[in-house]
Amino acid sequence: MTVDLNADAGESFGPWKLGHDEELFGLLTSVNLACGFHAGDPLTLRQAIRLAQYRGVAVGAHPGYPDRVGFGRRHLEASPEEVYADTLYQIGALAAFLRVEGLPLHHLKPHGALYNRAARDAEIARAIAQAVRDYDPTTPLVGMGGSALETEGRALGLRVVLEAFPERGYTAQGLLAPRGMPGAVIQDPAEAARRAVQMVLEGWIETVDGHEVALRAETLCIHGDHPNAPQIARHIRAALEAEGITCQTF
């Protein structure tokens, strides 16, 4: 059995540093790099791509809302047409740097509030999926199982890779719990590792309100801005490998 281990990264901006890219990349199999809208800048993007290349980690695009102040975690009233254009624009920014370094675009995964909206809004999900398809229909789209993003991506003929979050809490609807809710963010690396193994082997997880929700985990996400991200990644990888699960790029 195999599973991909990804992280959101490349989120620093100028002298302002965020995340633990240098520590994390050696523990991962893929990364989702900010493309300049919610975080990141051109030099950070270039450096993150080169670090990923050095570590042998696959590089995906991580487009978000144009919201640096809110780190892309605030909902914006963007139309499907705007979301399509913003997504394609951000793909293009990353793809230019990848081309120079001789690397392919491995996948696309929306960021933050855009990801959450695409999980439940079919029009927004279709706009994102259409941008991916128009750029390159062979590029995989990463999203949660049962989401509108999965449905619309598959309807357009894309490969959809299903993602789970061992260091985030879930609601009974199978969506990520809002960050202000108790239990929404898992701080303990050992607990995150336990949840990762359960997600992969058993296909379900406990929700923040004590229910159970089924899920499929083809890739597991670690948020790069989590204060304990490197420790969480180490615990998760060790726990998975102890169960005979190989961490491998999808």
Threshold 0.85, pTM exceeds: yes
For the chain, the domain total comes to: 1
pLDDT tens digits, 17-39: 999 999 999 999 999 999 999 99
> What's the maximum distance between 2 C-alpha atoms anywhere in the chain?
49
Mean pLDDT across 95-115? 98
Residue 180: predicted pLDDT:
85
Distance (Å, whole) CA 119 – CA 109: 12
Mean residue pLDDT of the chain comes to 96
Q: Which domain holds residue 239?
A: 2-247
How sure is the predictor about 58, in pLDDT bands with cuts at 50, 70 and 90? very high
Distance (Å, whole) CA 48 – CA 53: 9
Residue 73: predicted pLDDT:
95
Whether 31 contacts 4, CB under 8 Å: no
Residue 115: predicted pLDDT:
97
Mean pLDDT across 178-197? 94
Pairing of strands 212-214, 58-62: unpaired
Distance (Å, whole) CA 129 – CA 143: 11
Grouping H, G, I as helix, E, B as strand and the rest as coil, residue 195 is helix
Mean pLDDT across 111-140? 97
* CATH code of the domain containing 143: 3.20.20.370
